[in-house]
Amino acid sequence: MTQSIRWGILSTGRIAHQFANGLNDLPDTELVAVGSRSVKNADIFADQFNIPNRYGSYEELVRDPNVDVIYIATPHNLHKDNMIMCLESGKSVLCEKPFTINQQEAKSVIQMARKKKIFLMEAMWTRFLPHIIKVQQMISDGIIGEPRILQASVGFQKQFDPTGRHFNPKLAGGALIDVGIYATTLSYLIFGQPAHIKSFGNLSSAGVDQEGVITFQHENGQLTYFSTTILYHMPRDATIIGSKGSIYIHPDFWHPSQISLRLNNEPERLIEVPCPLNGYHYQVLEVNDCIRQKKEESEIMPLDETLTVLSILDEIRNQWGLKYPME
């Protein structure tokens, strides 16, 4: 009989709702508890998703003995402390991206998890989506020849609110670590860690990045360039260009999507990649399997990859002179 994995959700915001929808569709997976900053919000969320245990504080949630693993969906600046609190209570953790606001914070959390031998993973859902796995396979099979260039855009228009998480430096706001991380992760998947990074970013009056253009040169000369913003809408697509053609990932490339193959001198071909449910469930399946097998981290989304991507983001912010108040 398959072991049922019991989940708790820490926070009740928008992405927590999406995650709960994905989780509730899975067999041998139970959403048994939710924690919020108030009993009222916890009750509203719990009633919507039929969650039996609801708590008006995060501390009460992590002390629930019936929870195996906790999904953290709080603002970026709270991730480190939330993860440490969960790990101290012996809970496995899936933490929403960005894992932490910088590599230094991530190292301290990962060190604790490894010392305690507790499962820990960043919730980079894009790594598990079928169309991204298909893209990786097509590149590995040599369909577009040698991949040489990745171009992408990832951005959207947010109404300016100096107290909201997108524009508030105290909440580790800005476009780069919120959505630019998706393009950075895709680049890492295809080419690995960049050898050289050059970037330009414009900061808001509050001191967060509101738009930027980032370029990477990789070890064998491959190039990545992408733009990111929270000021206006972008195409939000990606193209991997190789010696024999290219793969176009339809918008939004980091969400469940379709791809088009554009081989040299051949008509473009749409490749439909089914993604049942809402896509969040793939990372849940990975976490469930890892916990059942008593693994301390995922082979698909290893902690060293999280550290590497954060080091890249740290360097970009350093080039922009962007430092958060808590750093």
Cβ pair 7, 30 in contact under 8 A: yes
- Residue 139 pLDDT > 90: yes
Q: Of 307, 304, 283, which Cα lies nearest the Cα of 71? A: 283
DSSP 3-state assignment of 62? helix
DSSP 3-state assignment of 134? helix
Cβ pair 228, 320 in contact under 8 A: no
Alpha-carbon span 260 to 250, nearest angstrom: 8
Arithmetic mean of pLDDT, 190-204 = 97
Cβ pair 148, 242 in contact under 8 A: yes
**Looking at residue 24, what is its pLDDT?**
87
Tell me which of 24-28, 230-234, 243-247 is least confident: 24-28
**Looking at residue 17, what is its pLDDT?**
97
**Looking at residue 2, what is its pLDDT?**
86
Question: Could you give all domains of the chain from N- to C-terminal order, each with its CATH number?
Answer: 5-125+279-298 (3.40.50.720), 130-274 (3.30.360.10)
Per-residue pLDDT of 72-129, as tens digits, reads 999 999 999 999 999 999 999 999 999 999 999 999 999 999 999 999 999 999 999 9
Alpha-carbon span 299 to 80, nearest angstrom: 22
Per-residue pLDDT of 274-327, as tens digits, reads 998 899 999 999 999 999 999 999 999 999 999 999 999 999 999 999 999 999
Arithmetic mean of pLDDT, 230-242 = 97
Mean pLDDT of the chain: 97
Per-residue pLDDT of 2-11, as tens digits, reads 899 999 999 9
Cis peptide before 252 (omega within 30 of 0): yes
Tell me which of 44-48, 220-224, 271-275, 312-316 is least confident: 271-275
State the CB neighbour count (10 A cutoff) for residue 219.
Answer: 11
State the CB neighbour count (10 A cutoff) for residue 126.
Answer: 24
